[in-house]
Amino acid sequence: MEKVVVNIAYLLSASLFIFGLKNLSHPRTAVRGNLLGASGMLIAVLVTLIDKRIVDFKLIIAGLIIGGLIGTLLALKVQMTAMPQLVAVFNGLGGGASAMVAGSAFFESELSSLSADFLTATVASAIIGSVTFFGSGVAFGKLQGLINERPMRYPGDQLLKLTVGAVTLLTGYMIITAPEFSILYWVILIFGGFLGILLTISIGGADMPVVIALLNSYSGLAASATGFVLENTALIISGSLVGASGIILTNLMCKAMNRSLLNVLFGGFGEVAQTKDDIYEGKVKSTSPEEVALLLESARRVVIVPGYGMAVAQAQFPVRDLFNYLTERGVEVDFAIHPVAGRMPGHMNVLLAEVDIPYDRMKELDQINPYFEQTDVSIVIGANDVVNPLAETDPKSPIAGMPVLQVWKSKTVIVIKRSLSPGFAGIPNPLFAMDNTLMLFSDAKKAVEEILRSLKEQ
Amino acid sequence: MEDLILYITIFVLAIFVGFEVITKVPATLHTPLMSGANAISGITIVGALISAGSHHSFLTTLLGFLALVFATINVVGGFLVTHRMLEMFRRKN
């Protein structure tokens, strides 16, 4: 009887997760969706507490309080710019927790009762969980600037990854055939962790959106595997929802860079030799905040293209003021957001939402590209590779085929940038030398503030 | 064995549901989607509660306790930070 109640409650939780995710399809209903998900989790936790196997609540209360406090603190204190780091931490903790739950179930079981199914699921959970935990640790370090952001390459690196991967799987196979050597469980965790580190450390900062999305997916798959270990449907369903979500986002990010997942994981992007063709010579025109203000004064349609450089310079606040000023004067202002504009999927949208830019002004690549021709002024702030026309014109370019924002089709393009230095792809950008492009060499925040001041003075 | 097939069926069907539901989430909400997914993958808390509370052996209790702390951080932190972000999107509209 108790088991029936528990299972029905788990079914209810899983349904609430699905309804919750469904409500994320629009910003208006999304808050409710998140609350639905949270109530699903509450139900799952409460119903688990009536389980007869629980004999001591002291540790449980302690764990809930410690975890709850840390979680609350992280969630309330985190800066929106640091959201990728936080998600990396959460990915890691989720993967780690699932691996440990599976491990605990493994050590609780009598040797004679262990089936091959149970052992396979335990091994899967241990491998995925520890790859996720340690891989996320490295991703966090790179995003936070604790580890060099450049991809770490060394002779024989692919072979080493392959070997460690093979050894991890082999150890997993050994534990399935000979579970009495339970110490092998720890060996799997160590090799899995090593594999996670090797896989992530060779990936550059520009590819972090893909890595974070992929690790997100792994943390779900680890929960699913643990669901197989515990024969718990709530874990299986929730884990596969998260797994699917992560895979979809990974795919979108890869498409946004026109690269395959294998290329991202093993290709080593961002180590391209910097070609110094002087395409800029004599063609780059620089401008002043006053001139930009004059151009904006007579513009009817303006598109702002933000890149991560905008957030680094904390320029989103003056950008919001500029947006408000222009909008109040009847200018139509849109934000063109490339999928990899931030450091994780949707990151730039969150940074803009934080400064109260309405979401219906944030346009995706496919939505905005047809409108550049009717745009008077496009302002590129801290973005580079995502507005590089070489992606469309040079099939040999490292970014060839990557969908880009076609800002050059607008009447005038203003590029706010400190210098002509290349972006993550390490290649020059012919946009800067185009006839209709004006470069405003400055710090993004200062530049936008000065443009706004000139506008107000006129 | 029959059970295993049943669980695999649930797993595969849930992945299909996940794909259907999540492809409808707009790019604008992809970051809250990920942090919300973090919270949902904290469902492993259910297993951690039993491991931490069943006093089987020192080792299993320790693993369960650590897993419980990790998963609770995920659940509480994940839902809270997602709420914080989603409120930002709702505010101005």
For residue A155, what pLDDT is reported? 85
Contacts of A234 in chain B (CB under 8 A): 43, 46
Interface test with A, best of B28, B87, B91 (most A CBs within 10 A): B28
The residue-averaged pLDDT of A115-131 equals 95
The residue-averaged pLDDT of A367-375 equals 95
Closest CA to A306 of A295, A316, A296, A317: A316
For residue A10, what pLDDT is reported? 94
A98 to A92, A255, B51: CA distances (angstroms): 10, 30, 12
Question: Quick one: pLDDT band at residue A275, thresholds 50, 70, 90?
Answer: low
* Residue-wise pLDDT tens digits, A166-201: 999 999 999 999 988 889 999 999 999 999 999 999
* CA–CA min distance A413, chain B (Å): 25
Contacts of B83 in chain A (CB under 8 A): 31, 34-35
Provide the mean pLDDT of chain A. 91
The residue-averaged pLDDT of A153-171 equals 91
The residue-averaged pLDDT of A134-157 equals 89
User: pLDDT at residue B2 above 80?
Assistant: no
Nearest to A97 among B27, B44, B54 (CB): B44
User: pLDDT at residue A369 above 60?
Assistant: yes
Interface test with B, best of A242, A327, A368 (most B CBs within 10 A): A242
On whether the CB atoms of residues A210 and A253 are closer than 8 A, the answer is: yes
Contact B77 A71 (CB under 8 A): yes
- How far is Cα B31 from Cα A369, in angstroms, rounded to an integer? 23
User: pLDDT at residue A398 above 90?
Assistant: no
Pick the catalytic residue from A51, A278, A366, A385: A385
For residue A264, what pLDDT is reported? 83
Contact B45 A357 (CB under 8 A): no
For residue A303, what pLDDT is reported? 96
Contacts of A62 in chain B (CB under 8 A): 65
Domains and CATH numbers, chain A: 78-266 (no CATH), 289-457 (3.40.50.1220)
DSSP class per residue in A139-152: HHHHHHTSS-SS--
Contact B74 A252 (CB under 8 A): no
For residue B93, what pLDDT is reported? 52
> Is residue A385 flagged as an active site residue?
yes
Question: Quick one: pLDDT band at residue A276, thresholds 50, 70, 90?
Answer: low
Contacts of B45 in chain A (CB under 8 A): 41, 44-45, 97
Contact A34 B50 (CB under 8 A): no
Residue of A nearest to B3 (CA): A231
- How far is Cα A394 from Cα A163, in angstroms, rounded to an integer? 37
DSSP class per residue in A59-82: HHHHHHHHHHHHHHHHHHH--GGG
Contacts of B25 in chain A (CB under 8 A): 21, 24-25
For residue A268, what pLDDT is reported? 57
Size of interface A-B (CB pairs under 8 A): 377
- With 0-12 CB in 10 A as exposed, 13-18 as middle and 19+ as buried, what is A155? exposed
| ipTM of the prediction | 0.96
- How far is Cα A72 from Cα B84, in angstroms, rounded to an integer? 11
On whether the CB atoms of residues A393 and A421 are closer than 8 A, the answer is: no
Nearest to A66 among B34, B69, B80 (CB): B69
Contact A51 B26 (CB under 8 A): no
Residue of B nearest to A13 (CA): B43
Nearest to B27 among A60, A223, A364 (CB): A364
The residue-averaged pLDDT of A325-347 equals 93
Taking the CA atoms of residue A255, residue A261, residue A267 and residue A268 in that order, the dihedral angle to the nearest 10 degrees is 70
B55 or A46: which carries more pLDDT confidence? A46
For residue A36, what pLDDT is reported? 97
* CA–CA min distance A154, chain B (Å): 32
Q: Looking at the DSSP assignment, which residues form a beta bridge with residue A337?
A: A364
Give the H or E element holding residue A438. strand A437-441
For residue A277, what pLDDT is reported? 59
For residue A458, what pLDDT is reported? 73
Contacts of A324 in chain B (CB under 8 A): none
* CA–CA min distance B89, chain A (Å): 5
Contacts of B90 in chain A (CB under 8 A): 27-28, 30-31
The residue-averaged pLDDT of A324-337 equals 95
Contact A27 B86 (CB under 8 A): yes
Contact A349 B29 (CB under 8 A): yes
Contact B78 A252 (CB under 8 A): no
Contacts of B15 in chain A (CB under 8 A): 240-241, 243-244
On whether the CB atoms of residues A445 and A409 are closer than 8 A, the answer is: no
User: pLDDT at residue B33 above 80?
Assistant: yes
User: pLDDT at residue A68 above 70?
Assistant: yes
**A68 C-beta neighbours (distance < 10 Å), count:** 17
- How far is Cα A381 from Cα A372, in angstroms, rounded to an integer? 16
Question: Quick one: pLDDT band at residue A111, thresholds 50, 70, 90?
Answer: confident
A379 or A264: which carries more pLDDT confidence? A379
Contact A94 B44 (CB under 8 A): yes
* CA–CA min distance A37, chain B (Å): 7
Nearest to A64 among B50, B72, B93 (CB): B72
Tokens of A284: 């780059």
* CA–CA min distance B58, chain A (Å): 10
Question: Quick one: pLDDT band at residue A368, thresholds 50, 70, 90?
Answer: very high
